[in-house]
Structure 1
Amino acid sequence: MTFQDCFPIWDRLDADQQARILGNLAFRSVGKGTILHNGNADCTGLLLVKSGQLRAYILSDEGREITIYRLFDRDLCLLSASCIMRSIQFEVTIEAEKDTEIWVISPEVYQSLMEVSAPVANYTNELMASRFSEVMWLMEQVMWKSMDKRLAAFLLEEAAIEGTSALKITHETIANHLGSHREVVTRMLRYFQSEGMVRLSRGMVQLLDEEKLRRLQDDRA
């Protein structure tokens, strides 16, 4: 799979624009846990995922994390090039959740293309709107959803991503995704276990009753 296969608007660029991108393109293979971008002062470039999984999160003054979105194969991360989008005022960290292969597009080259190419500008605006929608959805969850519903939704999402109901994940990691404390997550998981929805073991959460978790997630009460 080549960069040309993965970049959504490749065929809408002219030959010169394509050559400029390829001439300023870097390919990286990074291990799980690698920090690829760390805050506004770090203008890494645009990250296009070839394979693997990335996580974008923000960090509170108290050191608590909360995931704002995740990136999978063929996804493009704009916030890692926040220096070309002056309106972005919050600090975002991008971390590899799994061993990942990415292409890094030069921020200077991409910004110059945005200025002359309507397809690039339109695509960028659409992607930013999509990311903004994800952040707004997250805010809605944090403000209006109880912790048990958010945790149920996260476990179901994680099972769908991993393709298994046996999740190798720590309580600390779940807390970081949800912007909560490990103790809160542990207490809630123990409640789920008492209700027969999960089974807990060291570094593992086994989903036993996904339908019950789904009903909890969807319960509006």
Structure 2
Amino acid sequence: MTFETTFPVWNKLNSSQQSKLLNTLITRKVEKGTIIHNGMMHCTGLILVKSGQLRAYMISPEGREITLYRLFDYDMCLFSGYCIMRSIEFEVIVEAEKDTELWVIPSEIYKSIMDESADVANFTNEIMGTRFTNVMWLIEQIMWKSLDKRLAAFLIEETKIEESNKLNTTHENIANHLGSHREVITRMLRHFQNEGIVKLSRGLIEIVDEDKLYSLVDE
């Protein structure tokens, strides 16, 4: 896939705008675990995922992480180009969860095109609305859902992403996604194991009763 076929509003741009994008576009390949954007320390630019998987998250003053949303093939991250949106004043970190290939559009280039093109401005607003909807959904989950239900939902999501009932992950990693502590997640997973829902081993969680997991989420 090329940038031209992946960027959603490419055909809405004039030839000058298309040339400006292609001449300044940065292609990057990053390994799993790479921090691509580190909050408000720098304005990375807008990220478009060609292939791979990214995680956008925040860190509390106490050092606890929580995942805001994830980015998959052809998804776009605006928060990495926060400097074009002056009203954004919270720090989002973007990390590669898998080896990833991506394009970076310099923020000043994107802003100049957005100022010229109503189609790009509307597209940007749609993405921003989607991301804030994701964050509001997360807040609702934290406020109204118990941790066991959130953990069950996370495990279900992971099986869909990995297309496997065997998840190569750690309790620490799950805690970071859910904004919890490793010890709490370990206790909860052991409870799930006692209930016959999962089987635990070092670095591996196997879902052995998917129906029970779904029932827990739906209760």
Q: How does 1:64-213 map to 2 (within 5 A)?
A: 64-213=64-213
One-letter code of the match for 1:183? Answer: E
* TM-score, with length taken from structure 2: 0.99
Distance across 2 between alignment mates of 1:11 and 1:63: 43
Shift of 1:72: 0.3
Q: Distance in 1 between matches of 2:218 and 2:8?
A: 34
1:41 Cα deviation (Å)?
2.7
CA offsets 1:87-131 (integer angstroms, 9 cap, x no match):
111100000000000000010000011111000000000000000
SS of structure 2 residue aligned to 1:40: helix
Counterpart-to-counterpart distance in 1, 2:186 and 2:218: 22
Is 1:43 matched with 2:80?
no
Deviation track 1:17-48 (CA, whole Å, cap 9, x = no partner) reads 10000011000000000000011231000010
TM-score by length of 1: 0.98
Where do 4+ consecutive residues of structure 1 move more than 2 Å? none
Over the matched positions of the two proteins, sequence identity in percent amounts to 64
- For 2:117 and 2:11, the matched residues in 1 are separated by 13
- Residue identity matched to 1:105: I
What do residues 178-214 of structure 1 show as CA deviations (whole Å, max 9, x unaligned)?
Answer: 0000000000000000000000000000001111111
Alpha-carbon deviation of 1:6? 1.0
Alignment root-mean-square deviation, CA: 0.5
Deviation at 1:58, TM superposition (A): 0.2
Aligned to 1:14: 14
- Please give the alpha-carbon distance, in whole angstroms, between the structure 2 residues aligned to 1:4 and 1:165: 36
Paired position in structure 2 for 1:216: 216
Which runs of no fewer than 5 residues in structure 1 stay unpaired?
Answer: none
* One-letter amino acid of the structure 2 residue matched with residue 133 of structure 1: T
Q: Distance in 1 between matches of 2:210 and 2:85?
A: 41
Distance 2:101 2:5 in 1: 15
Partner of 1:28: 28
Q: Helix, strand or coil for the counterpart of 2:73?
A: coil
Alignment: residue pair count: 219
Distance 1:41 1:111 in 2: 19
